[in-house]
């Protein structure tokens, strides 16, 4: 597998941006060029664009489109995906190697959180456990913690897919398996009088496995994959 993908590009330069930079010395231009989240002081001192700017943008729109066309031509988006035949032998493992580091980066760099259903998180993280909101459109106190929990469950599932050594924690001892001669009904018979063998634990067998504990982890893994599918379209930064 080979993937070449450029960063997301948007070569559109707004007519307002052009005007703001041409008339850089004006107060309204400084307000237009100010980046980041505006403070209360910024909002109080905000200066609107003059009326003539609206008309000027109509004349500059074709210029903006021409600039965008040239930049798209000179610096196009790169999106090349080459799949080798062995990539689909165990496609679930192949994709897990890619998805896992992306999920981890998303959790570290995200700037927001989507709406999540209470049924997908533990009771202590549900919206019903929060204080009443002042306004209907406000986020509750646990909004972002719910998304973090869901991302952690996705990451856990893919970590277990990439490395299945987690199963070792539920196993102990060593195998000692012997072949026992049996008849067609499974009853032990002396050697030389048998037609069949049955595998049984030998005298030195100490192997044990906590199947109940392993099942709980497997259920958590499956739930992580379910959440990944359910919130796939919310995996944005």
Q: What is the mean pLDDT of each run of 10 residues along the chain (237 residues)?
A: 84 92 92 80 85 92 93 87 92 95 96 95 93 83 96 98 93 85 76 73 87 96 98 95
pLDDT of residue 233: 97
Is residue 75 domain-shared with residue 111, that is, in the same domain? no
CA distances for 100 relative to 62, 95, 224, 233, angstroms: 44, 9, 12, 16
Picking from 59, 82, 105, the residue at the C-terminal end of a domain is 82
Tell which of 82, 104, 120 closes a domain.
82
Residues 96 and 208 in one domain: yes
Full domain range(s) for residue 180: 90-237
pTM of the model: 0.72
109 in the same domain as 204: yes
- Do 70 and 94 lie in one domain? The reply is no
Domain count, the chain: 2
CB 147 within 8 A of CB 125: no
79-82 and 2-5 beta bridge pairing: antiparallel
Residues 125 and 235 in one domain: yes
- Per-residue confidence (pLDDT) for residue 192, from 0 to 100: 67
Q: What is the pLDDT of residue 104?
A: 97
- Both 135 and 189 in one domain: the answer is yes
Q: Are residues 1 and 63 in the same domain?
A: yes
Query: Tell me, what's the pLDDT at 136?
Result: 79
pLDDT for the residue numbered 90? 93
Pair 97, 191 in one domain? yes
Report the C-alpha dihedral over residues 133, 134, 138, 144, rounded to 10 degrees.
-40
Task: Tell me: do 35 and 108 sit in the same domain.
Answer: no
Based on the domain organization, do 157 and 227 belong to the same domain? yes
Q: Are residues 52 and 156 in the same domain?
A: no
Residues 124 and 175 occupy one common structural domain: yes
Q: Which of 33, 63, 82 is the last residue of a domain?
A: 82
């Amino acid at each position: 597998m080979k993937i070449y993908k450029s960063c997301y590009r948007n070569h559109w330069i707004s007519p307002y941006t052009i005007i703001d930079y041409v008339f850089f010395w004006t107060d309204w231009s400084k307000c237009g060029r100010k980046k980041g989240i505006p403070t209360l002081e910024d909002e109080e001192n905000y200066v609107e664009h003059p009326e003539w700017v609206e008309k000027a943008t109509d004349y500059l729109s074709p210029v903006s489109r021409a600039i965008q066309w040239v930049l798209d031509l000179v610096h196009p988006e790169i999106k090349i995906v080459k799949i080798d035949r062995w990539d689909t032998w165990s496609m679930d493992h192949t994709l897990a190697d890619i998805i896992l580091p992306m999920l981890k980066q998303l959790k570290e760099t995200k700037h927001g959180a989507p709406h999540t259903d209470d049924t997908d998180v533990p009771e202590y993280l549900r919206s019903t456990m929060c204080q009443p909101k002042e306004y209907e459109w406000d986020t509750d106190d646990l909004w972002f913690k719910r998304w973090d929990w869901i991302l952690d469950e996705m990451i856990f599932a893919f970590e277990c897919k990439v490395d299945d050594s987690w199963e070792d924690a539920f196993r102990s001892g060593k195998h000692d398996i012997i072949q026992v001669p049996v008849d067609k009904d499974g009853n032990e018979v002396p050697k030389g009088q048998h037609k069949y063998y049955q595998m049984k634990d030998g005298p030195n067998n100490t192997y044990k496995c906590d199947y109940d504990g392993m099942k709980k982890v497997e259920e958590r893994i499956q739930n992580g994959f379910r959440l990944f599918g359910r919130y796939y379209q919310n995996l944005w930064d």
